[in-house]
Amino acid sequence: MQDDPHPLLDIAEVARRSGLAASALRFYEKKGLITPAGRNGLRRTYRPEVLERLGLITCARSAGLSVAEIGRFLAARPSDGDLRERMAARAEDLDEQIGRLTRLRDSLRHAAGCTHEPIVDCPDFKRAIGAVATAGATRVGEP
């Protein structure tokens, strides 16, 4: 008999490899985002591909998507136009956020090497920070 090239992983191993707590795995399971393959005694077991799905979930969470939004996305079909529109709008929001963060990063890099006394009065730094603040102010008060 040949060994399975992709043996099941118990919950502790999935937690270790994914960097998530076992409680998070149980929560994602309860919300229908992941599915266990079965049990080994009292411990849940998962197929190795769950790690890829958890990577997607982790990435989506860090981008600000809710668990409910992730659940809808994971179940989406090409015909789900409403979800596609929401995801496109979210992608636009992320583009704006990336732009603001990029400007902030560039401002901080400038400040790290700036010799102006004090750094916050440097015209180049003020201009860069102003661009970050102005871009963020356009979002204030938006629903």
| Closest to 70 measured CA to CA, from 53, 94, 48 | 53
Spatial CB neighbours of 141, under 8 Å, sequence gap ≥ 6 = none
Does residue 13 contact residue 44 with C-beta atoms inside 8 Å?
no
State the greatest distance between any 2 C-alpha atoms of the chain, in Å, as a whole number: 74
Q: Are 33 and 65 in contact (CB under 8 A)?
A: no
- Strongest mean pLDDT among 2-16, 50-64, 127-141: 50-64
Tens digits of per-residue pLDDT, 84-143?
898 899 899 999 989 888 988 888 888 888 888 888 888 888 887 776 666 555 544 444
